[in-house]
């Protein structure tokens, strides 16, 4: 096999398509500024369908994800009833509740009596995820059924390939609370060395991969990033980590601070810190994570988004915390894992939508 065509992607009418369908752009695409892209990507249920921290293989991980994107409600008799037979990252109605909020994540969801109506969706995407070829420690994982599956989604590698073909300036920052980073970085490094049987053309990409992960640690006073011999803190200036991320090249990864998230009751207050600067016209930061969610109090979302302010507008403040709703599909993207499995252009679509919506966001920001 000598191309990604060996992986059976579907077209954009694939079921589950409802993420990254953002606001229609006011500014035509050809007039958009081609900013440097800094893409922060989650691992589990974003570019991986597995979770070694919880011991989940692809089947359990996909089932667990499905339990977060299927919607129902409690009936007048106190029983659970489904509102839709489709999976979607956004609720189909105002009164919809996703299954996991009511009952918790379920690694056997589609095999359960209550979730069996989604078995076809599960089976179809497991088939798409299956690896065609020999086992490889870097690129495959063995599923609970003994079959071989992709370790890193092909749509991720397609993203790298097309951004390079487009002549885009970009860097990739992998961010996770888990322990998968060393293996993922090793796999990406091997792919860029031409060893991936489905993506041999990626050896031509001039991207470096830093194999040693960094760390991000938080407390009430500061956020501290450490990577190799580098140490960057927000204590002196809030934008220090933003500037560090912006200056990064190639591909690297950071383990975020799970204990801090847990101490903050798994709310955005303790989530992955993420900065944007609307006064920086040359760079665009985008974070894609399956645990980004729209809710009124950000009680169930994983990103702590901070909008950097200039001294004039900020009245002495360096930043303000932004709710997920303000930047959803602008800089914050909730992963649609079904599309990421089924559509090779999924991540590219997310980037394009964010770029279009960001232009509109900046127009409104400048009018404030």
Exposed, middle or buried: residue 220 (CB in 10 Å: 0-12, 13-18, 19+)? Answer: exposed
**Could you report the per-residue pLDDT of 145-201, keeping only the tens digit for each?**
999 999 999 999 999 999 999 999 999 999 999 999 999 999 999 999 999 999 999
3-state secondary structure labels for all residues of 276-325: ECCCCCCEEEEEEECCCCCCCCCCCCCEEEEEECCHHHHCCCCEEECCHH
Residue 55: what pLDDT?
Answer: 84
Residue 69: what pLDDT?
Answer: 97
- Residue ranges of the chain with pLDDT lower than 70? 1-32, 311-316, 366-368
Residue 364 CB partners (closer than 8 Å, separation 6+): none
The radius of gyration computed from the CA coordinates of the chain, to the nearest angstrom, equals 20
Sheet holding 97-98, edge to edge: 80-82, 71-74, 97-98
3-state secondary structure labels for all residues of 203-263: HHCCCCECCCCEEEEECCCCEEEEECCEEEECCCCCCHHHHHHHHCCEEEEEECCHHHHHH
Residue 313: what pLDDT?
Answer: 55
Q: Report pTM.
A: 0.90
**Residue 250 dihedral angles phi and psi, to the nearest 5°:** 70, -145
In angstroms, what CA-CA distances link 348 with 40, 73, 278?
14, 34, 22
Residues 139 and 152 sit within 8 Å (Cβ to Cβ) = yes
Residues 274 and 40 sit within 8 Å (Cβ to Cβ) = yes
Residue 316 CB partners (closer than 8 Å, separation 6+): none
Cα–Cα distance for residue pair 329/354, rounded to 1 Å:
6
Residues 238 and 308 sit within 8 Å (Cβ to Cβ) = yes
Residue 31 CB partners (closer than 8 Å, separation 6+): none
- Bridge partners of 214, per DSSP, are 254
Cα–Cα distance for residue pair 148/182, rounded to 1 Å:
21
DSSP 328: B
């Amino acid at each position: 096999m000598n191309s990604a065509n060996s992986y059976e992607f579907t077209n954009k009418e694939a079921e589950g398509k409802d993420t990254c369908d953002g606001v229609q752009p006011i500014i035509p695409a050809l007039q958009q500024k081609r900013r440097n892209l800094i893409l922060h990507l989650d691992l589990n249920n974003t570019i991986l369908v597995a979770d070694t921290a919880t011991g989940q293989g692809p089947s359990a991980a996909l089932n667990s994800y499905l339990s977060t994107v299927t919607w129902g409600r409690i009936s007048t008799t106190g029983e659970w009833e489904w509102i839709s037979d489709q999976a979607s990252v956004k609720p189909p109605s105002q009164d919809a509740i996703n299954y996991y909020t009511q009952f918790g994540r379920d690694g056997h969801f589609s095999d359960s009596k209550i979730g069996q109506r989604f078995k076809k969706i599960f089976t179809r995407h497991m088939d798409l995820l299956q690896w065609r070829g020999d086992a490889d420690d870097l690129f495959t994982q063995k599923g609970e059924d003994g079959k071989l599956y992709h370790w890193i989604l092909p749509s991720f590698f397609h993203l790298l390939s097309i951004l390079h073909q487009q002549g885009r300036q970009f860097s990739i920052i992998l961010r996770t609370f888990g322990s998968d980073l060393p293996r993922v970085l090793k796999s990406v490094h091997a792919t860029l060395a031409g060893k991936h049987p489905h993506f041999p053309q990626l050896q031509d990409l001039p991207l470096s991969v830093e194999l040693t992960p960094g760390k991000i640690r938080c407390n009430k006073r500061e956020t501290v990033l450490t990577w190799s011999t580098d140490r960057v803190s927000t204590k002196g200036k809030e934008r220090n980590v933003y500037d560090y991320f912006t200056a990064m090249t190639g591909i690297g990864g950071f383990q975020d601070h799970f204990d801090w998230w847990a101490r903050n009751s798994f709310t955005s207050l303790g989530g992955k810190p993420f900065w944007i600067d609307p006064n920086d016209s040359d760079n665009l930061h985008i974070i894609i994570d399956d645990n980004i969610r729209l809710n009124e109090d950000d009680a169930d979302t994983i990103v702590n988004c901070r909008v950097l302010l200039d001294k004039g507008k900020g009245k002495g403040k360096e930043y303000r915390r932004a709710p997920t709703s303000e930047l959803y599909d602008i800089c914050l993207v909730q992963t649609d894992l079904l599309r990421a499995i089924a559509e090779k252009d999924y991540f590219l679509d997310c980037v394009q939508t964010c770029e279009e919506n960001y232009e509109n966001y900046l127009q409104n920001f400048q009018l404030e």
